[in-house]
Amino acid sequence: MKNKQTDKLEFNRKDHWEQVYSEKESTEVSWYQQHPERSLDLIKATGRDVSAAIIDIGGGASKLADFILDTGYNNLTVLDISHAAIEHARFRLGDRAEKITWLEQDITEFTSDVTFDIWHDRAVFHFLTDADDQASYVRTMSRALKSGANVIIATFDLNGPEKCSGLDVVRYSPETMSDVLGEAFQLIETSTEKHITPSGASQNFVYCCFTRV
Ligand SMILES: C[S@@+](CC[C@H](N)C(=O)[O-])C[C@H]1O[C@@H](n2cnc3c(N)ncnc32)[C@H](O)[C@@H]1O
């Protein structure tokens, strides 16, 4: 029988995501959104001005970056474990890619030299099924945010899929998300969304907005 350590050694997270983005067009992946409206609305609803330091965790090839720039925000960082995903996004954005700070990093190993006003994560945290990885993420997020910063995390909800991209996920309610983030994060607002994948499947998401206390 395999133990957790063996499983960890066999699964290489970076290789997995590089393969995903090298085999599929960015518009074909199940999480693709032509217009990431909810995320954008929640970012705008923070009321922060265009100089707000925003980080999109696991932004991948998402078009959210394009819309954030279109809105006028001028201090955006996109972090993703996958080089291929970042290259997709950079190619699409052309010269505008230079306005963004790109970080090719595993969020569980990330340490930031700067602090952010807005932390956005759609469909990344729920891939962390290991309690140590979840704790690393929360520790990193706590350190990388200014006091009073806004956090927007979207995951599959309790009725959402059990897997994505062939990987197990943890599904959340606002309460369980709040529990895992701990006391440093105060839950402000939640909403649900049915995401329709490019192949027509329906996936239930929950968006949880917190303030870094
Ligand atoms: C399901 S996709 C979501 C992409 C994007 N947030 C969106 O909503 O379209 C998950 C993304 O997270 C990235 N990712 C997965 N695990 C990661 C980790 N530990 N650190 C950083 N990025 C990660 C993947 O490369 C991929 O781009």
Residue 16 in tokens: 């997995």
- Beta-bridge partners for 150: 118, 211
Q: Is residue 90 pLDDT above 90, yes or no?
A: yes
> What mean pLDDT comes out for the span 160-175?
97
- Spatial contact of 106 and 85, defined as CB atoms under 8 Å apart: no
Cβ atoms 57, 121 nearer than 8 A: yes
Over range 32-41, report the average pLDDT. Answer: 98
The C-alpha atoms of residue 80 and residue 182 are separated, in whole angstroms, by 24
CA–centroid distance, residue 206 to ligand 1 (Å): 16
Cβ–ligand 1 contact at 63 (below 6 Å): no
Q: Which band of pLDDT confidence, cut at 50, 70 and 90, is reported for residue 10?
A: confident
Q: In the numeric block, which tokens belong to residue 24?
A: 């599929």
Mean pLDDT of 95-116: 97
Give, in order, the Cα–Cα distances in Å from 211 to each of 99, 118, 175.
27, 9, 15
Q: What global pTM score does this model have? A: 0.96
Report the distance separating Cα 211 and Cα 48, nearest Å: 13
* pLDDT for 151 beyond 60: yes
Res 2: pLDDT: 42
Residue 9 clears pLDDT 60, i.e. is over it: no
Strand partners, 121: 57, 153
Percent of the chain scoring above 90 in pLDDT: 95
17 touches ligand 1 (CB under 6 Å): yes
Q: Is the CB of 212 under 6 A from ligand 1?
A: no
